[in-house]
Amino acid sequence: MDKIVLASNNQGKLTEFQRLFSKLNIEVIPQSAFNIPECPEPYITFVENALTKARHASQYSGLPALADDSGICSVALQGAPGVLSARYAGDNPKSNSANNAKLNEDLSHFADKNVYYVCALVLVRHLNDPQPIIAEANWYGQWQSHAAGSNGFGYDPHFYLPEHEKTAAQMSQDEKNRYSHRAQALKILLAKLQQSNNLSTSKF
């Protein structure tokens, strides 16, 4: 597997995955290169949406496909924004600043500022892969009312990490590649992929 399609048009995600997979000599190609239309995300769980997007991208491209469904969850808001993170403030148009402002306002009524990023990764080797490789990870932090940093995207400027004394947007790319929810999920995914490859070449 030397090429995979990323089932996303998000430039921030593409850049992160290209950096992470380059060490494995795997080229990550955005679905826009194949003119793949947007895939509906009708489900309330990250993993269901990721699986749907991965199959969709594989169907149109004929290649293995990786889908990421991620977002931020608030303990006080019972998991919101969750799968609606990218369009929490509406999708006409989607806006990071509007999403951050809405979550900031919603959390201002609660003392509990604990939030966590979720990443669900699904890799399908082909459209009808009966056993997709699935990995999930959480990254825990606290909501900071004022934005800080410019190295991230989405909710990163408000996602404060007490152990690092900075927001995700104040982290270097190397730090994010070690600690982020996406990096953690990818590590799990790659371990599962290696295990799967070992099994497929074993003689029973």
Which residues sit opposite 72 in a β-bridge?
A: 117
Classify residue 62 as left (phi > 0), alpha (psi -120 to 50) or beta. Answer: left
Q: Are 72 and 115 in contact (CB under 8 A)?
A: yes
Q: In what order do the strands lie in the sheet with 114-124?
A: 27-30, 3-6, 65-74, 114-124, 133-143, 159-161, 166-167
Q: Is 69 a catalytic residue?
A: yes
> Which position among 2, 68, 69, 156 bears the catalytic label?
69
Can you say whether residue 38 is alpha, beta or left, with left for phi > 0 and alpha for psi between -120 and 50 degrees? beta
Amino acid at 173: Q
Active site residues: 69
